[in-house]
Amino acid sequence: MQESIERAARDLLNSRHAILSGAGISTESGIPDFRGPSGIWTRDPAAESRAYRSYERFTTDPKRWWEENLGRPSSLGDLANAMPNAGHYALAELEELGILKCLITQNVDGLHEKAGSWNVVEYHGSLFKLRCMACTARFGAHEFDLEELGRSGKLPPRCPHCGGVLQTDGVSFGEPIPLDVAGRSMAEARRCDVMLICGTSAVVYPFADLPRVARGRRAGGAGVLSVTIVEINAEPTRLTHEGLADYLIQGKTGEVLPQLVERVKQGRRAPGLPDR
Ligand code: NAD
């Protein structure tokens, strides 16, 4: 593992536009993933089909959806009191160092921002925000007294800008990715020269297309840079098996990322890490 951490530190130090994407990083903050070995769906496969029905039920009858779901505890646990772990803090530091230019997360728990990351694209939205179905404006969920709207029969909440129906910003299974987020993520994938993929099974689409976009966009291009795709995951994934990742650092993000950042800082202080 040490060798591949050295290699990733070199790749990051030589990069011009490194970006990161991921999901599993929050398990070490006590928030379960869905598809990891102890994931919610791994343990309870029926929960997956229930999740897929939720968006259809919302679009059919948003009022009823809100009435049924308001106050229901999240399957992800107590997100409001969850705290970032060493992996989140390491990534915030990598951004502070000017190396990581953008972080595209699948997580909906807000922990990257809590850790101090600021250029964060929430690919699957945030459970702390509401989004207008009509104009896509986002609002903090705390800006609305949802309990009172429920008591007075005024659900679903309405967009203060256009009057459209508000839904939770967390993207449901089967729901299209909001266009602004999808467009920004594609642009980042097209311009990056290093992509770190932390804790992603690479089976959730269209997110799983991002490494393919990063890799494929340069095929046949003249005089263009290559991209290095580095996976950090507790286990090999589809990206590993298909050879899409250049290499895998197998381990927990909360352990690997702080070591990687430490090595990057050492390389900064004493340039001239040996080439591959
Ligand atoms: P996923 O399919 O990408 O699987 C998670 C991956 O992370 C697995 O490959 C697992 O081996 C790996 N992993 C887990 N913990 C790790 C660790 N500490 N270090 C390294 N690798 C680790 O994602 P998913 O969990 O199946 O979730 C699917 C979608 O559901 C996500 O895209 C997200 O939108 C939502 N979700 C969000 C949260 C959250 O916000 N914290 C949690 C679960 C699910």
pLDDT at 223: 37
What is the whole-number distance in angstroms between the Cα of residue 138 and the centre of ligand 1?
A: 24
CA 48 to mean position of chain CA atoms:
19
Cβ atoms of 249 and 8 closer than 8 Å: yes
pLDDT at 100: 95
Q: Which atom of ligand 1 is nearest to the CA of 204?
A: 2
Q: How far apart are CA 173 and CA 132, in angstroms?
A: 17
Share of the chain above pLDDT 90, in %: 70
Residue nearest to atom 43 of ligand 1 (CA): 33
pLDDT at 240: 94
Radius of gyration of the chain (CA): 20
Q: Which domains does the chain have, with CATH numbers?
A: 1-31+84-124+177-276 (3.40.50.1220)
Please check the confidence at residue 221 and state whether its pLDDT lies above 60. Answer: no
Q: How far apart are CA 7 and CA 234, in angstroms?
A: 18
What is the whole-number distance in angstroms between the Cα of residue 169 and the centre of ligand 1?
A: 18
CA 17 to mean position of chain CA atoms:
18
**Best of 4, 20, 21, 34 to mutate for ligand 1, by most ligand atoms within 8 A of CB?**
34
Q: Which atom of ligand 1 is nearest to the CA of 203?
A: 2
pLDDT at 108: 94
Q: Under DSSP, is residue 171 helix (H, G, I), strand (E, B) or coil? A: coil
Q: How far apart are CA 107 and CA 162, in angstroms?
A: 28
Check if 34 has its Cβ closer than 6 Å to any atom of ligand 1: yes
Q: How far apart are CA 162 and CA 42, in angstroms?
A: 41
Please check the confidence at residue 276 and state whether its pLDDT lies above 50. Answer: no
Average pLDDT value for the chain: 90
Q: How far apart are CA 112 and CA 122, in angstroms?
A: 10
What is the whole-number distance in angstroms between the Cα of residue 266 and the centre of ligand 1?
A: 30
Query: For residue range 160-186, what is the model confidence (pLDDT) as tens digits?
Result: 999 999 999 999 888 999 999 999 999
Query: For residue range 222-240, what is the model confidence (pLDDT) as tens digits?
Result: 434 589 999 999 999 999 9
CA 30 to mean position of chain CA atoms:
16
At 82, the amino acid letter reads A
Of the candidates 140, 97, 91, 149, the residue with the CA atom closest to the CA atom of residue 120:
91
User: b/e string for 132-162 if b means 16 or more Cβ within 10 A?
Assistant: beeeeebbebeeeebeebeeeeebbbbbeee
